[in-house]
Chain A
Amino acid sequence: MIQSKEIGRARRRIEGELKVTGQAKYAGEYQVPDLLHGYVVNATITKGRITSIDETAARAVPGVMEILHHERRLALPRFDIMYSDMDAPPGSPFRPLYDAKITFSGQPVALVVADTFEAARYAAALLNFTYEEVDFDVDLRANLEKAHKPAKGLATFIKPLPPNPRGDFSAAYADAEVRFEGEFHHASQHHNPLELFASTTVYEGPGKLTIYDKTQGTNNSQIYIANLFGLRFKDVRVIAPFVGGSFGSGLRPQYQLVMSVMAALTLKRNVRVTMDRSQMFTFGHRPETVQQTRFGATSDGELTAINHTAISETSSFEEYNEVVVNWGNMLYPAKNALLDYKIVPLDLYTPMDMRAPGGSTGMMAIETTIDQLADQLKMDPLEFRLRNYAERDVSADKPFSSKELRECYRQGAERFGWSDRHQEPRTNRRGNRLVGHGMSTGIWDVIALPGNASAKFTKKGRLIVKSAVTDNGQGTNTVMTQIAADQLGLPLEAVTFKYGKSKHPLSPVQGGSYTTGVIGSAVKLACLAVKNKLFKLAQIMDGFPLGDALPEDVDFIGGEIVLKQDPSVRIPLKDVIAFNRGKAVKASKSNIPNVFKLKQYTRAAHSAAFVEVEVDEQLGVVNVTRAVTAVAAGAIMNPQTARSQILGGMIWGISMALREETLLDTKLGKYVNTDLGEYHIPVHADIHELDVIFVEEKDEIINEIGAKGIGEIGLVSMAPAIVNAVYNATGKLVKVFPIKLGDLI
């Protein structure tokens, strides 16, 4: 084992200065010569077809260069497979500008290209479409009987469908001495990263493009665009050095990318297309979901029966799925479990993974149901969870690769002061405010995927590591640099991580909390390969200073190879490169998961959130006054950036429980609060004391670096803990989320 100097050490973000001084450039900010600006026009109907397009007024705006739409566009492929991408669910992906058919409100129908942003925007407003409208249906709750199981595909490999029933739920539920049955609902939510989706396409000559794209996967955009426009992969360079948040919205290429490329290829010019904020509500989103739970327990608190059903929306053209119901029986070893997940096609765009997809939805129902049972049992909800602690994942009949959830409970409860909680609701007050304490468990899969990285040690003594992966704010740049530095015993300053370019070694899309594990493992393997090569060179250096030392006989420290037995024997790595005639030492590695080993285990990160709320008794105003989340997620690469990730997840939990939802007008067939004024994400005044604990957890099974990932785990436990705390404060269980002003009066 190498000695960790950087891994596990709090480090400031390497790109921090660029971000705080305004020098960090995002996709829509590259000043390239003779840039043209595109503005997208969206359909104003929900379903039907375009019958005519009047371009007259739009073309008359000075500066307008081109108007693209289904009747005036480059050739596009005929087969669905050519429109697929790394995160496409089974079905027929949306084809921008393909034909006259309208399948959802806000569908992009045209692009106006002009010499200024303002001219394109004005002309876009003047482009006149007439439509033939047909009846549409966007109402999930009115169509629950149309629900069906999602089709199997690549998506269901990463996001598995529910396991088969275990035991006899009906009999066990009937026999249960304590039961809770509930129906839970939440509306759609949109990712709304602060950066608007944008692509700047640089026309480099026939068939050659450089694209600055807002994405979570440079290779995903590259392959997609090459397929769509019949270009060679190597001629499509996608660059995404800074990405202003994404939270899942960049897992699939969005339509501004297609449009900017089509315009660039059509006009043989450089073209930027940036969405506006309302257009950020015209693609993927967290699906509206209706859930039902029926859990039963014995009078001494043994959970015996779990039934959890979820029905979510999907589009008319793709079968989106997420893991909503699988978690309950992974966490609580009831012998009888009946889990079901279905989708209903509606005239909306296909949903898309949004931070902690499925898990955050499911846990809202599971963990509030667990608390309701504890309440009926007059048992402390933490004690009830410990009474039903799963030492093994009974739902899959596998051991956990590691599971320090018990320690999360213990440390979280202690830090929070859980023992002061009032078991009886409505008994804890501060002035006009009711005080409530609530908790919840969190769980998130450790996903294993292949990923690639290269490493190079140069004659200047620098280690250059590359991967096509993006850093959308998670801290990937800093963490990969730390991982790389440790492999060769280098200081952080001697390492550069190059990322966010499709030409670098292939990476899966950044998401699912797996990036640190997947790319971090590849980085480690590539650096170890370089280390090994350096050692082999050193072994044959003139004079054989290392003698017949084996790799385990030396340390790589501070840019030198040091003989453990006699630290006076040291070879500077620069000398090794000099011996190599000044040639850098390079290696590329793939991290290929050992599926045979991995599939023997259930692999998951865990968390426990403890929350205090104050609820104004008369006015129903809720504040999360303080919260502690304890996380067991394997090795923590950088406690500072990791803490920020968990804090972010907790704030998303506050938002899910108390703030955000996209309002769908089922009569008009469209979302109505499509701006940041009425789509409420938390403001600073909403956020009070938040605390994070990382519980020590070792896991040598999951991947090379033992990191489980932390992007989602802070969110999944937070929202239900708030709902439980509100119940503890008020005695009211709200099952329609978010809890809004007016729900508690």
Chain B
Amino acid sequence: MNNFKYLKADTPAAAIAAVADNAASNFVAGGTNLIDLWKYDLTHPDRLVDINGLSELKTITELPDGGLRLGALVSNAATAHHAIVRERYPLLSRAILAGATAQIRNSATNGGNLLQRTRCYYFYDAASPCNKRNPGSGCPAIEGHNRLHAILGYSQKCIAVFPSDMCVALAALEAVVQVAGPDGSREISFSDFHRLPGDHPERDNTLQPNELITSIDLPPTGFAPHHSYLKLRDRNSYAFALVSVATGFELENKTIKRARIALGGVAHQPWRVSAAEDLLVGKAPTAQSFGQAAGIILANAKGFGHNDFKIELARRAIIRNGLMALNPSSQRPGAQPSL
């Protein structure tokens, strides 16, 4: 809640230059996470560089390869309700609409969604130790309240999870993140964007300092005929996922030709295991097939006490969501379980 300076940038280049110019500068777009963190005294920007004026990042455009480019500054709501997204990438639309609330989705941007911080209780309490916030101070979650926490991909330093819903669908869709920095542009495949905590839980992703997300590009296929997003949480809406699953597959002659399954709420990044997806190829979309995939995905899962239930819950959620994907029209508001 420190005082800070404010600058409104006119172009991406100017925004990047402004942030590069001051190590304690931050981009601010929707602000729904950054302002929250600042008020909790968890982040201390010296200057906020407002990028809301960068109109070139505010559009959704079709790509020559048949894919779709989601501008980094398009709001989560505008993305979810966009006609092409709804028609061709309904999995993404449903995942976005399962996250946060109508008000927050109107402000929150696509780029910002990728950069949100964990919701671990201890990370959010400035007076508690936390390796993510204050490297080397310890992790009280491992022996404390860890209901929200990871069962996969954790480290001894951090068991926090990445809280996004949108990103779980983007992982399943194999999106690509376009970024621009002081040294030019580059692209990052979605699976390389968020990282595991390892020895450096303070780093959530592989974005370099001063880099700006400019768009998120979707590949041509969007699993529109067979997709589902299922979100299990402590209330029916306005809560972070304990377990969420994004499932999409293509069917040919009643068997699976290609499948993608991503889990949310279980790890420091959206969780995908390609061996499980490969296993489904050539199989019928049945509870048994999805159960086998779940077995592979969760093979190394481990709980920390309060979150032990997530392992079995995730297995069942993978199965249910596979079956829900057979009948996307059955899906309910808030990505609640159906069937």
Contacts and interface: CB of A to CB of B under 8 A. Distances in A.
Interface of A: 44, 61, 118, 121-122, 125, 431-432, 616, 618-621, 623, 659, 663, 665, 667-668, 670, 672-675, 677-678, 680, 682-686, 740-743, 745
Contacts, number: 96
Interface in B269-322: 309-310, 312-313, 316-317, 319-320
28 contacts: A44-B127, A118-B1, A118-B3, A122-B2, A125-B1, A125-B41, A431-B339, A432-B320, A618-B319, A619-B317, A619-B320, A619-B337, A663-B145, A665-B140, A667-B143, A670-B125, A672-B122, A673-B145, A677-B240, A678-B119, A682-B235, A683-B236, A684-B237, A685-B238, A741-B234, A741-B242, A745-B312, A745-B316
B121 interface: yes
B238 A683 contact: yes
Nearest to B127: A44
Given A619-B320, A621-B337, A685-B237, A668 B313 contact: no
Contacts of A618: 316, 319-320
A653 to B, nearest CB: 15
Nearest to B336: A621
Contact of B236 (A623, A668, A677): A623
A279 to B, nearest CB: 13
A431 to B, nearest CB: 6
Contact of B234 (A122, A659, A672): A659
A667 B339 contact: no
Given A44-B127, A432-B320, 18 more contacts: A122-B3, A618-B319, A620-B313, A621-B336, A663-B121, A663-B145, A667-B144, A668-B128, A668-B144, A674-B125, A677-B240, A678-B148, A680-B239, A740-B234, A741-B234, A741-B242, A741-B313, A745-B312
Contact of A680 (B2, B235, B312): B235
Interface residues of B, number: 39
B313 A619 contact: yes
A651 to B, nearest CB: 12
A663 B121 CA distance: 10
Contacts of B144: 665, 667-668, 672
B293 to A, nearest CB: 16
Nearest to A619: B337
B334 A672 contact: no
Contacts of B233: 741
A396 B128 CA distance: 50
B237 A742 contact: no
B193 interface: no
A122 B45 CA distance: 13
Given A621-B336, A667-B143, A672-B122, A685 B317 contact: no
Contacts of A665: 140, 144-145
**Which among B145, B239, B339 has the highest number of chain A CB atoms within 10 Å?**
B145
B333 interface: yes
A685 B316 contact: no
Contacts of A742: 242, 309-310, 313
Given A122-B2, A616-B337, A745-B313, A672 B235 contact: no
Interface in B222-274: 232-240, 242
Contacts of A659: 234-235
A443 to B, nearest CB: 29
A745 B143 CA distance: 23
Nearest to A661: B234
Nearest to A674: B125
Nearest to A682: B235
B138 to A, nearest CB: 11
**Which among B3, B235, B313, B334 has the highest number of chain A CB atoms within 10 Å?**
B235
Interface in B113-135: 119, 121-122, 124-125, 127-128
Interface in B121-177: 121-122, 124-125, 127-128, 140, 143-145, 148
**Which among A125, A663, A678 has the highest number of chain B CB atoms within 10 Å?**
A678
Closest 7 CB pairs of A and B: A742-B309, A685-B236, A672-B121, A44-B127, A685-B237, A618-B316, A663-B145
A672 B313 contact: no
Contacts of A616: 337
Contacts of B234: 659, 680, 740-741
**Which among A618, A621, A674, A684 has the highest number of chain B CB atoms within 10 Å?**
A618
Nearest to A621: B337
A432 B206 CA distance: 41
A62 to B, nearest CB: 9
A23 to B, nearest CB: 23
A680 B140 CA distance: 22
B125 A619 contact: no
Nearest to B237: A685
A433 to B, nearest CB: 9
A740 B147 CA distance: 11
Interface in B1-57: 1-3, 41
A742 B305 CA distance: 12
A686 B235 CA distance: 7
A530 B2 CA distance: 60
A672 B145 contact: yes
Contact of A619 (B3, B122, B232, B236): B232
Contacts of B41: 125
A388 to B, nearest CB: 36
Contact of A432 (B309, B310, B333, B337): B337
Given A44-B127, A121-B1, A659-B235, A673 B334 contact: no
A745 B309 contact: yes
A151 B121 CA distance: 36
Nearest to B44: A125
Contacts of A61: 3
A207 to B, nearest CB: 35
A683 B100 CA distance: 12
Nearest to B143: A667
A659 B1 CA distance: 31
B123 to A, nearest CB: 11
Contacts of B122: 672
Contacts of B1: 118, 121-122, 125
**Which among B121, B319, B333, B339 has the highest number of chain A CB atoms within 10 Å?**
B121
A740 B309 CA distance: 11
B333 A685 contact: yes
Nearest to A663: B145
A660 to B, nearest CB: 10
A673 B234 CA distance: 13
Given A122-B1, A665-B145, A686 B119 contact: no
A478 to B, nearest CB: 31
Contacts of B140: 665, 667-668
Contacts of B336: 621, 685
B242 A685 contact: no
A621 B232 contact: yes
A685 B337 contact: no
Interface in B195-227: none
Nearest to A122: B1
A616 B140 CA distance: 33
A455 to B, nearest CB: 46
Contacts of A686: 235-237
A255 to B, nearest CB: 18
Nearest to A664: B145
B334 to A, nearest CB: 6
Contacts of A667: 140, 143-144
